[in-house]
Homo-oligomer: A and B are copies of this chain.
Amino acid sequence: MAEVGEKRPATIHQVASLAGVSHTTVSRYLQDKDSLKPKTRVKVDFAIKTLDYRPNLVARSMRTRRTNRIAIVLPSGPHSPGRLLSAASETAHQAGYQVEIVSIEGGPRARAARVDELARSGQVEGILSISSIDVRGKKSWNVPIVVSGNYDDELRGLGELADASEIREIIEHLAGLGHRTFLHVAGAQTFASARSRKQVYLETIERLGLRSFAAIDGDWSAQSGFDAMAGLPSDSGVTAVVAGNDVVAMGVIRGARSRGWDVPRDLSVFGWDDYEIARFATPSLSTVAVDREAQGREAIHRLLAEIRGEPVPEPARGTINRVIFRESTAPPPAAVSGR
């Protein structure tokens, strides 16, 4: 066991006194070493080392009115923001910002209220929300806010970082294999990403003259995928399922199996997220790889640009997501594709 906080940290005055200069000079040293003449610099340098001095950042914040702190709002849902978070936090640190985490329970409105409060707390200079928030009725925020994975545009500094356009590519590919009748097991519709995937699914089906047996609203769970298959009529004609994500897709595969349908022989299944675990499942899952780290970095870059009043960089579309074809997709059964 080590000891705990007996000694107060040294202050700028103690450093100044030991160095034989004014505390103004020490502060100046902190801002820009070169503004002191070498002899003075050496004295201050020595005093700082001797006392192991670290500036009190709270006092500095108070004086400068800058906190160098941004908040990241975590989703309360089933998503694991680990990698995005690490990358975002790393990027922010490099830019000299601390990252504060706020986890918000409750629905979009409750979250919006909390974000509102946060924005006005004076504690943070910007906010990155990983969950979608309901911003209707909110007129003004005093700090920039970036929402990752949200199509709403009533929000200042909105960066659209999720993109469902890969759904189009998936359906085109499946149609090319001969599939005609599709099923979509969507994620929770409170999530912008789920809504947009569903929307692109429906549009693409329509545009290509295909048939959607149904677009079922799920809740991102494997169970929702399983249930969708359990409830599917034998004569639905569905030969391809586009699931909201990998977890749902695994439920779909298991559900299909429980109906006696083999994947991919009788049914093709697509996920989203490229979980390592689904890559090693049997059959390995066709999916969309999402570069969470790039997403996190990009979100922070956008936020920092907002904070600094610089032009906001365009999100680099198309580089973050990548469709991956694996064993869970194949041509439809001959009987079906031939009719």
Contact = CB atoms under 8 A, between A and B. Distances in A.
Contacts of A30: none
Interface string A120-158: 111100000000000000111111100000000011100
A2 interface: yes
A163 interface: no
B3 A140 contact: yes
Contacts of A101: 72, 85, 89, 99-101
Interface stretch (A14-22, A37-45, A75-83): A75-83
B141 A2 contact: yes
A319 interface: no
A253 interface: yes
B4 A58 contact: no
B85 A98 contact: no
Interface string A214-253: 0000000110011000000000000000000011001101
Contact of A156 (B2, B93, B275): B2
A108 to B, nearest CB: 17
A190 interface: no
B98 A156 contact: no
B9 A122 contact: yes
Contacts of A120: 9, 54
Contacts of A89: 74, 101-103
Contacts of A154: 2
A121 B52 CA distance: 11
Interface string A39-65: 000000000000000101111011000
Nearest to A82: B80
A74 B93 CA distance: 13
Contacts of A247: 276-277, 280
B100 A144 contact: no
A211 interface: no
A214 to B, nearest CB: 21
A90 B62 contact: no
A154 B3 CA distance: 11
A315 to B, nearest CB: 17
A82 B77 CA distance: 10
A278 interface: yes
Nearest to A72: B101
A334 B232 CA distance: 40
A254 B276 contact: no
Contact of A280 (B58, B156, B226, B282): B226
Contact of A123 (B57, B83, B121, B141): B57
A105 interface: yes
Given A74-B85, A250-B281, A122 B4 contact: no
Contacts of A9: 120, 122, 142
A14 to B, nearest CB: 14
A115 to B, nearest CB: 12
Given A2-B156, A82-B81, A143-B4, A98 B98 contact: no
A281 B277 CA distance: 10
Given A99-B101, A222-B279, A251-B280, 11 more contacts: A4-B143, A9-B122, A54-B120, A58-B67, A74-B86, A78-B276, A80-B81, A80-B83, A81-B82, A89-B102, A275-B277
